[in-house]
Structure 1
Amino acid sequence: METVAETVSRWRAEGIPCALARVVATGGSSPLATGTAMAVSATGEVIGGVSGGCVDGAVYTLCREVTADGRPTTAVFGPDGDELLAVGPTCGGSLEVLVEYVPPHGGHPVDRVTAALREGRPVVTTAILEGPRAGDWTVLVGDDDEASPHPGGHRGDDSREHPGGPIRARAAEMLGRPGTAVVASPAGRVFVQSLAPPRLLVFGATAFAEALVRIGALLGYRVTVCDARPVFVAPERFPAAAEVVRCWPHEFLRRTRVGPSTAICVLTHDPRFDIPLLTEALRTDAGYIGAMGSRRTHTERLTSLREAGVGESELRRLRSPIGLDLGARTAAETAVSIAAELVAHHRGGTGAPLTGLEMAIHR
């Protein structure tokens, strides 16, 4: 959703209307998760996708229709879907898609979402799925005192309030915790989507970091690179990073925001940096902490960390050597190995080849 929202805001700035499609419900072995988005501009450009390909063509057509008439719609694809669409996921699952018109001018909540995500702030959106108020949005941004209603651009009626009560309470509850929900309200079903950009803190401005920053940004992380060595901390080396910081790593970690959605990757494998940094990192609630180095380096590092007072339960959180066993040799391959472990850790994957595994692909 983040990349799609940015593109939609850019189209709006260029005076181009578009349609935004989001997966609001899934069933069975659906290819992509709820909240996945796709947008189609009035000029025919496409960003994102809702199905991995199998129903994107039909959704593209719906987006063109919504752009033309300005009226939101929902459609169900799959065994119980609309037969007139004559299409469904090849995997046998189902998905429901909300398609909304996004005008080229005036205020629209998608711009507020884009601004919040660029600043690294969590945001929750709600959208009414059906009835005369279908397409009405409201947006709640972290650190905001209030969430203002933003009616859908198809009607332009600012006088109606968005359904409050349980919807507002659910949005506030989900703020900062990525996920989606469909909640019943007097106005009809409401789709609630919470977006909280995960952070990737990369310590060590190395060639490995150059590759990992690019992949991390592609995965949706807001990436920070930190190193104390001035000659290596050049922002032009890391164009995909949200910030490049010159500072002693452990000092930066003490003053920056760290939470369960934060991943910390230590790529320096230099005890001067690693020991104070990991001592600090293992006492945070970061969701992932990994460190680069050989098995010998790891053994020596554990000894130093114990001497620094780090407990055994904290040490068990450390993933070192970092990454999955891919046989990686180059910096790019190593970055893929680390990124693969990040995804497996976040999604609960095994890291094993899917071939031969007798288990659901989409859990």
Structure 2
Amino acid sequence: MLDQAAEICRRLDAGQRVAAATVVRVEGSAPRAVGSSFVVGSDGTVAGSVSGGCVESDLVERCRGVLDGGPAHVVSYGVGDDLGGPGLTCGGTITVLVHEVSALAAGALHQVRRAAEGLDACVALDGDGRACTDDPLVTLRTPAAHPLLVVGASEHAVALTRLAATCGFAVTVLDQRPLFATKERFPDAYAVVRDWPDRWLASHPLTAAHAVAVLTHDERVDVPTLTAALASPARYVGAMGSRTTHARRVEAMRAAGVGADALARLRSPIGLDLGGSTPEEVALSILAEVVMTRHAATGRPLSTTAGPVHGR
């Protein structure tokens, strides 16, 4: 449910009632994890997913039934027994709680709003879809949104901000140029800051949760910004540029006193080798590397790996 918090709040703010189908248990291989949800508004619109699309049609009708006054209930889906019947194709089983979100107590709805704002949130639900403190059917938690600092308000930054926000990142765009650093250009950003990046970083320390993508191509900005970022505990620090630009930038940072261990943390040229060149393709390459780093994954094609696909 909390994974669809923004959608839920948008519908609630429009005066709708909202029902949700929330995964509360997973056995074996399944497309989505516990907490994944599918929501239906009283206007008939839907959002989210609890499977690869194979049980959502059944859940639409169940959610509509709840909105029509039916009780909250729990339903399980495994491999479909009948051709055309709802079921999973991956061999596992999911148990789903179908309930009305708009009927939750004020405290639980406050947690939904926290999640929608990118803050940490927690809701415990019983089998009737009510918030509870004792013996919950499921406890849903969401951490604060992953912070991503994008330095340089370029078109690549526009594409990266849009994609990263869709993937649950809280993006701060940082650029000293007022003409480029505007909320109009970056409507998906958590914040747009007009300041010299190294000056802003001096008063806004980065944490181990941060990822930093420097997309400026200007050594006057790159070198002091990367020097500050590499001195921080930020999990990911990457910089855009050709290999020639990277080599020149590294020499400038060495001259500025950046040590070998810090330079070894720098991911430049930024991104994974996906072969794309448009701003959107480059954004995908960068975000893929950020996610890979966060999960300590390999970035290899899943077809060349062994073991479970999900639940890493």
Once the 2 structures are TM-superposed, how far is the Cα of residue 251 of structure 1 from its aligned partner? 2.0
Instruction: Give the aligned residue type for 1:63.
Output: C
Match of 1:114 in 2: 113
Instruction: Give the aligned residue type for 1:126.
Output: A
Deviations 1:261-317, CA, capped at 9 Å, x for gaps: 321100012111111111111122222211111112222222222333333332222
Match of 1:173 in 2: none
Match of 2:121 in 1: 123
8 Å CA contact retained: 2:3, 2:37: no
TM-score, normalised relative to structure 1: 0.77
Once the 2 structures are TM-superposed, how far is the Cα of residue 106 of structure 1 from its aligned partner? 7.7
Three-state SS of the structure 1 residue aligned to 2:40 is strand
Match of 2:88 in 1: 89
1:135 and 2:133 matched: no
Match of 1:335 in 2: 283
Match of 1:10 in 2: 10
Q: Compared with structure 1, are the counterparts of its residues 238 and 2 closer, same or farther at alpha carbon in structure 2 (3 Å cutoff)?
A: farther
- Which 10-residue stretch deviates more, 227-236 or 272-281? 227-236
Match of 1:234 in 2: 182
Once the 2 structures are TM-superposed, how far is the Cα of residue 356 of structure 1 from its aligned partner? 4.7
Give the distance between the partners of 2:245 and 2:219, measured in 1 at CA. 9
Q: Compared with structure 1, are the counterparts of its residues 190 and 207 closer, same or farther at alpha carbon in structure 2 (3 Å cutoff)?
A: closer
Once the 2 structures are TM-superposed, how far is the Cα of residue 338 of structure 1 from its aligned partner? 0.9
Deviations 1:91-113, CA, capped at 9 Å, x for gaps: 11222222221237983623442
Match of 2:214 in 1: 266
Cα-Cα RMSD: 2.7
Match of 1:177 in 2: none
Following superposition of structure 1 onto structure 2, how do residues 144-159 of structure 1 map, counting pairs within 5 Å? none
Q: Using CA pairs below 8 Å that are at least 6 residues apart, which structure has the higher relative contact order? A: 2
Following superposition of structure 1 onto structure 2, how do residues 152-167 of structure 1 map, counting pairs within 5 Å? 162-163=133-134
Choose the corresponding residue for 1:205, options 147, 150, 153: 153
Three-state SS of the structure 2 residue aligned to 1:269 is coil
- The ranges of structure 1 where at least 4 consecutive aligned residues each deviate by more than 6 angstroms after the TM superposition are none
Q: Where in structure 1 are there 5+ consecutive unaligned residues?
A: 138-150, 152-161, 164-186
1:344 and 2:289 matched: no
Give the distance between the partners of 1:27 and 1:352, measured in 2 at CA. 26
Give the distance between the partners of 1:135 and 1:82, measured in 2 at CA. 28
1:100 and 2:66 matched: no
Once the 2 structures are TM-superposed, how far is the Cα of residue 191 of structure 1 from its aligned partner? 1.9
Deviations 1:102-159, CA, capped at 9 Å, x for gaps: 23798362344224542x432222223x3xxx4232xxxxxxxxxxxxx6xxxxxxxx
Once the 2 structures are TM-superposed, how far is the Cα of residue 207 of structure 1 from its aligned partner? 1.3
1:252 and 2:208 matched: no
Instruction: Give the aligned residue type for 1:46.
Output: V
TM-score, normalised relative to structure 2: 0.88
Q: Compared with structure 1, are the counterparts of its residues 96 and 286 closer, same or farther at alpha carbon in structure 2 (3 Å cutoff)?
A: farther
Once the 2 structures are TM-superposed, how far is the Cα of residue 28 of structure 1 from its aligned partner? 2.2
Match of 1:65 in 2: 65
Instruction: Give the aligned residue type for 1:299.
Output: A
Once the 2 structures are TM-superposed, how far is the Cα of residue 56 of structure 1 from its aligned partner? 1.4
8 Å CA contact retained: 1:268, 1:274: yes
8 Å CA contact retained: 2:217, 2:241: yes
Q: Where in structure 2 are there 5+ consecutive unaligned residues?
A: none
Once the 2 structures are TM-superposed, how far is the Cα of residue 39 of structure 1 from its aligned partner? 0.6
8 Å CA contact retained: 1:117, 1:197: no
Choose the corresponding residue for 2:244, options 279, 296, 301: 296
Instruction: Give the aligned residue type for 1:248.
Output: W
Instruction: Give the aligned residue type for 1:334.
Output: V
Q: Compared with structure 1, are the counterparts of its residues 188 and 102 closer, same or farther at alpha carbon in structure 2 (3 Å cutoff)?
A: closer
8 Å CA contact retained: 2:237, 2:265: yes
Give the distance between the partners of 1:190 and 1:82, measured in 2 at CA. 27
Give the distance between the partners of 1:42 and 1:117, measured in 2 at CA. 20
Identity %: 42
Give the distance between the partners of 1:309 and 1:241, measured in 2 at CA. 33
Deviations 1:55-88, CA, capped at 9 Å, x for gaps: 2122222212222235322222225x999x9533
Give the distance between the partners of 1:82 and 1:22, measured in 2 at CA. 22
Match of 1:170 in 2: none
